[in-house]
Amino acid sequence: MGTRPAFYYFGNAFLRAAFKILLRVDVRGLENVPRDGPLIVAITHSSFLDPLLAGAYTPREVIPMAKAEVFGWPVIGLIVRSYGAFPVRRGEVDVSAFKSALRILEGGYALVIAPEGHRSESGTLQRGREGAIMLSLRTGAPILPVAVWGGKGFWENLSHLRRTPMRFYVGEPVIPELLGAKPTRERMAQMSDELMIRAAEMMPPEMRGYYAERMQANTGYLRTFRPSDGQVLEKSKEVMRAG
C-alpha cells in the first residue's frame, strides 16, 4: 500500500539482510496471509526478535504494538517510533492503545499483537489474553495465528559467532464463530485459548507451555476465515454494537 513511514521499508530491508547473517529462519505458511483488508497478526512471544520477524516476513505492511517503556529508551525509542509502532502499557487496561488498534483495523490495515501480553521468560507458551478476540469482534478483522520461537538463545549464540535457528510458522486466519449474542468474558477467554491452541499446534510439544495439557480443549468458537466472509463480519460488528 505504501502507507507506512519511509523508515519502515528501510528497517524491514535491513532486518531481512541482518537475519540472513545472524539467523536461520524457517518460514512457513505465508500463503495463509490475507493480502488486503483488516488483519490481526497474533504472534507468540518469547524473544525480542519475534515482532521483528513479523515485520520483516509478513507479506504485507503491518503496524506493531510495542511496550510503552521502549519509547523512552535512547536510540531504540526513536527507531521504534520511526518504524510506526504505537505504545501499549502492559499490566493494565490501556484504553488508548485499544482505541489506536481499533482505528488501525477500521482503516483496513494489519496489526501485530502478542496475545500473551509479554515475553515468556521460560520460552514456552503462556496463557493468551482476550485482546485479539475483542478487537476481532469489534471490527470483524480475521486473526492470523503465528507461532514464532527459537530466539531465546540469540545472545549466547551471537557471543559464540553462531547463527540462531528460528521458526516463523503462519496458520490459517480465523474469526470468532457467531452465536447470535455478544459473548461473555468467559467465552472470549475460551476463544483466546482456542486461538493459542491453533498456534501451539504448529510448535513442538516442549514449547507449548500452558497449553501442553490442553491441546484437546478446542471449543469450536473459531472458524477458518474465507474472503467471502464480508457479510458475516458486518453481522459480528452489529452484534457487538448492540451489546
pLDDT of residue 89: 85
Tell me the C-alpha distance between 230 and 144, whole Å: 16
Q: Residue 217: how many CB atoms within 10 A of its CB?
A: 11
CATH class of residue range 25-242: alpha beta
Give tens-digit pLDDT for 114-148.
999 889 999 999 999 999 999 999 999 999 999 99
Residue whose C-alpha is closest to residue 8's, from 67, 76, 88, 63: 63
Give tens-digit pLDDT for 64-117.
988 888 888 888 899 999 998 998 887 667 788 999 999 999 999 999 999 998
Handedness of CA 182, 211, 47, 203 (dihedral sign): negative
Q: Residue 220: how many CB atoms within 10 A of its CB?
A: 9
| E strand residue ranges, the chain | 23-28, 39-43, 62-67, 86-88, 110-113, 143-149, 164-170, 174-176, 222-224
Tell me the C-alpha distance between 218 and 162, whole Å: 39
H/E element, 190: helix 185-200
Only one residue has cell 503496524, namely: 63
Give tens-digit pLDDT for 185-225.
899 999 999 999 999 999 999 999 999 999 877 678 899 99
Question: Is pTM, for the whole model, over 0.85?
Answer: yes
56: helix, strand or coil: helix
CA atoms within 13 A on the CB side of 20: 5
Report whether 64 contacts 82 (CB < 8 A): no
H/E element, 166: strand 164-170
Tell me the C-alpha distance between 36 and 1, whole Å: 9
The length of the chain is 243
Q: How confident is the model at residue 5 (pLDDT cuts 50, 70, 90)?
A: confident
pLDDT of residue 180: 60
- Residues 139-169 as b/e (b if ≥16 CB within 10 A, e otherwise) read bbbbbbbbbbbbbbebeebeeeeeebebbbb
DSSP state, 123? S
208: helix, strand or coil: coil
Look up residue 148 and give its three cell numbers: 514464532
H/E element, 203: none
Tell me the C-alpha distance between 111 and 226, whole Å: 19
